[in-house]
Structure 1
Amino acid sequence: MKISIVTISFNQAKYLRRCIESVLNQNFKNIEYIVVDPGSTDGSREIIESYGSSIIKIFEKDKGPADGLNIGFSKATGDIFCYLNSDDEFIDGALALVEKYFLDKNHVDVLCGHGHVIDGGSDYKRRIFSDSFSLKAAAYGASLAIQPSTFFRKEIYRSIGGFNIENRSNWDDELLIDMALKGAEIEVVNEFLSCYRVHGESITGTGRLESMHHTHTRQMFLKIMRRPYTGYDDYFSQYYRIMKHIKNPIATFERIIHGPIFGTQK
């Protein structure tokens, strides 16, 4: 079983080498690693070039992150797909575990694991957890999947046509919802697979897309429920959020102790 990983890189030289080596140093060797760079000017391309044939390099302009990912996956030939942001990292042994899971569970289309939050200096900060997925919970913004710990079969990705390139804030969330609407079987594995970096320049760290995130949640509600969000839905939203915390008490404890991830930094 081959795993194809796409990294989109744009001016993240500070973290890029750690990202790349977290892929290439896995104890799982049947990896196809594709790095897409639309025009970095901070030395990132020189770092990418230094890995020679270990990486499939795509240096071309794109229409944003979602489009860059689609370009990368258009070259992918693996059985399982994943995308790793250029400031994130895999945990040692993650890919071998993912392969075993998909081999053991032929009915599963999408696998979501958990992650560790690290800061700009690569220091451990806290744990983050994927929630059990349901479309109803996703409609009310109460179903979180840890993006760098999410893997999916090639067939389900191809069946939905990839990422929505118009989505500039939550393209990963919409991809999962589109897969679920297509009938994908989504499961959560109780394993930590990646390190999710939150720093002063990251989208999560700055919270600069918070208003776009609100708009996105309303759009996803309409896509899933096939009707606009109304005031009455506030009650259902509260219900699904409460149930989320009840179902995953460890994640709830982490949030109580450390606060929300979005909008925080080192």
Structure 2
Amino acid sequence: MKISVIIPTLNCENVIGLLLEKLWNQTIKPLEVIVIDSESDDNTREIARKAGANVIEIKRKDFNHGGTRNLAAEHSAGDILVFLTQDALPKNEYFLENLIRPLEDPTIAASYGRQVPRDEAIPTEKFSRLFNYPPEDKLKSKDDIKAMGIKTFFFTNVCSAVKRKEFYEVGKFPDNTILNEDMILASKLILKGYKVAYVSTAEVLHSHNYGLKKQFQRNFDIGVSLMENDFILKYVTAESEGIRFLINELKYLIEKKQFLWIPYAIVENGTRFIGYRLGLKHKHIPLFLKKKLSMNPNYWTKGSD
């Protein structure tokens, strides 16, 4: 299988060189690495070119989580499309080999890997990565929707692989989406009858210590995305998963004796919930306010309402 790796970038000169070095040293080497850059102010593009990447330049105002990745895919030649973010660092040289292994099965259209938190991650962030990316593999299909709920469609472009044919068969990522382009693609694949594999041995270092404001904004955008792709909500809702998350997070913090983080975890989960619910109701919110509530204000500048 020929692999095209696609990485959207913005001002990441401190990490892009190491990321590309890790990719070229994989046991299965990619056919190409495509960096699609949104007018970085630093040396990201120069470093990427010197490291052997094909660099596509776009205007920063034109970046979109779905459309930008689609554009890079159109310039790719591989029959497997691997999507990475600029801050996801493969843990070892077997990352790509492990990530694409399930795709040998004709019924599996996509796979995604495990995010391991960095050492500096706060306790709540470490739990979040463990909750969403456990050490056990999982194969998901349409048959799992009743039991797993919205978790059936969980998928992440932090590190994912999709078969090119099936990627185009279901219409790629949505060209204009505020967030969740990965979940939308996975849901279309699963509802089409394909399976999606979670591969716990395909590991990347990746975590964010977002504050409450960022958590609110991110979950506002998640709510917006689900409402604008409400076919997902016909099958599942996210609220029950949120309750399960909080219960397990509190158990984790008690087990780790991180008692001082318990109040923060409760407030953080409440913040996420409020942001998410407001995102679902975004059509009733004035445009100027949506720009303040969102992590992606440029999305609203483009005329979304």
TM-score (norm 1): 0.74
Do the aligned residues in 2 keep the contact of 1:13 with 1:42 (CA within 8 Å)? yes
Matching residue within 162, 181, 184 for 1:174? 184
Cα-to-partner distance string for 1:24-79 (whole Å, 9 max, x where unaligned): 2212224321111121112212212222xx21111233342322111111011112
Letter in 2 for 1:72: A
- Higher mean C-alpha deviation, range 168-177 or range 32-41: 168-177
**What's the counterpart of residue 89 of structure 1?**
89
**What's the counterpart of residue 215 of structure 1?**
224
Cα-to-partner distance string for 1:203-232 (whole Å, 9 max, x where unaligned): x99323221212323444x313549x9xxx
- Higher mean C-alpha deviation, range 59-68 or range 82-91: 59-68
**What's the counterpart of residue 44 of structure 1?**
44
Letter in 1 for 2:177: N
**What's the counterpart of residue 293 of structure 2?**
none
Residue 94 of structure 1 and its aligned partner are, at CA, apart by 1.1
Alignment of 1:19-30 (within 5 A): 19-30=19-30
Q: Secondary structure at the match of 1:37?
A: strand
Q: Does 1:142 align with 2:151?
A: yes
Q: Does 1:224 align with 2:232?
A: yes
**What's the counterpart of residue 299 of structure 2?**
none
**What's the counterpart of residue 173 of structure 2?**
163
Please report the RMSD computed on the Cα atoms of aligned residues, expressed in angstroms.
4.0
Larger helix proportion of the pair: 2
Residue 146 of structure 1 and its aligned partner are, at CA, apart by 4.2
Letter in 1 for 2:103: F
The CA distance in 1 between the partners of 2:146 and 2:12, in whole Å, is 34
- Higher mean C-alpha deviation, range 77-86 or range 91-100: 91-100
Residue 15 of structure 1 and its aligned partner are, at CA, apart by 2.4
Q: Secondary structure at the match of 2:117?
A: strand
- Higher mean C-alpha deviation, range 77-86 or range 55-64: 55-64
Q: Secondary structure at the match of 1:40?
A: coil
Q: Which residues of structure 2 form unaligned runs of 5+? A: 259-264, 273-305
TM-score (norm 2): 0.65
Cα-to-partner distance string for 1:135-159 (whole Å, 9 max, x where unaligned): 6369954343343342111111111
The CA distance in 2 between the partners of 1:43 and 1:101, in whole Å, is 36
Q: Does 1:4 align with 2:4?
A: yes
Residue 191 of structure 1 and its aligned partner are, at CA, apart by 2.0
Q: Over alpha carbons, which structure has the higher Rg? A: 2
